[in-house]
Amino acid sequence: MRLPVLIALLACAGAAQAADMLKAGDPFPAWSLLDQTGATVTSRDLAGKTYLLWFYPKAMTPGCTAEGQGLRDHFTAFRSAGIEIIGVSFDDPKDNATFVQQQQFPFRLLSDRERTLAAAVGAADSRDQPVARRISYLVGPDGKVRHAYAAVSPATHAQQVLADVGEPAKP
């Protein structure tokens, strides 16, 4: 890995500043992004559903892999709670497809190459930021933020979200 990318990953992997993030009750902005297959996924497609949008810095890096594995390993509990899991990074769809295949993720990974959504929700300070901040949002069926996660631990994020919705964290 090149040193500038490593430095950027370390700098951006921390929590977003609370002022940058949406808060519970805020409407989540409309969005349209490509998934790992090249298909367009929009917030309109998810209207009436609850979904976890987890931003991760870079596909196939240790922390992002650990977080994705935790979500994968608790996928059944998320499904029982009626929550769709969707990852977002600045990676291109091809890299996300490789990540999904290597880790056997049962959920979609979206590419925010223009950083539009990330900048709107505090996962990036600008469209020039090299990687997304590790944050997540649980968005309710009404399109409003139910929970905003500024301090995400890759090892325990899945359990944290499930605890917040009252679902036992069983792999």
Is 39 part of any domain? Answer: yes
Q: Is the pLDDT of residue 12 over 60?
A: no
pLDDT at site 16: 40
pLDDT, tens only, 91-136 = 999 999 999 999 999 999 999 999 999 999 999 988 888 999 999 9
pLDDT digits (tens, 9 = 90+) for 36-87: 999 999 999 999 999 999 999 999 999 999 999 999 999 999 999 999 999 9
DSSP class per residue in 8-67:
HHHHHSSPPPGGGS--TTSBPPP-EEEETTS-EEETGGGTTSEEEEEE-S-TTSHHHHHH
At residue 27 the predicted structure's pLDDT band, cuts being 50, 70 and 90, is: very high
Mean pLDDT in residue range 5-33: 67
Query: Residue 17 pLDDT > 70, yes or no?
Result: no
**Residue 170 belongs to some domain of the structure:** no
Range of the domain at 120: 3-164
Residue 162 three-state SS: helix
Mean pLDDT of the chain: 89
Q: What is the rounded distance in angstroms from the CA atom of residue 99 to the CA atom of residue 91?
A: 10
Does residue 15 lie in a domain region? yes
**Does residue 171 lie within any of the structural domains?**
no
Summarised one tens digit per residue, pLDDT across range 144-156 is 999 999 989 999 9
pLDDT value of residue 170: 64
- Domain assignment of residue 169, yes or no: no
Annotated catalytic residue within 22, 59, 64, 110? 64
* Residue 64 annotated among the catalytic residues of the structure: yes
Give yes or no for residue 159 having a pLDDT over 70: yes
Give me the CATH number covering residue 77.
Answer: 3.40.30.10
Burial class for 96, CB neighbours closer than 10 Å (0-12, 13-18, 19+) = buried
**Count: domains in the chain:** 1
In which band, very low, low, confident or very high, does the pLDDT at 9 lie, cut at 50, 70 and 90?
A: very low
Residue 154 lies in a domain: yes
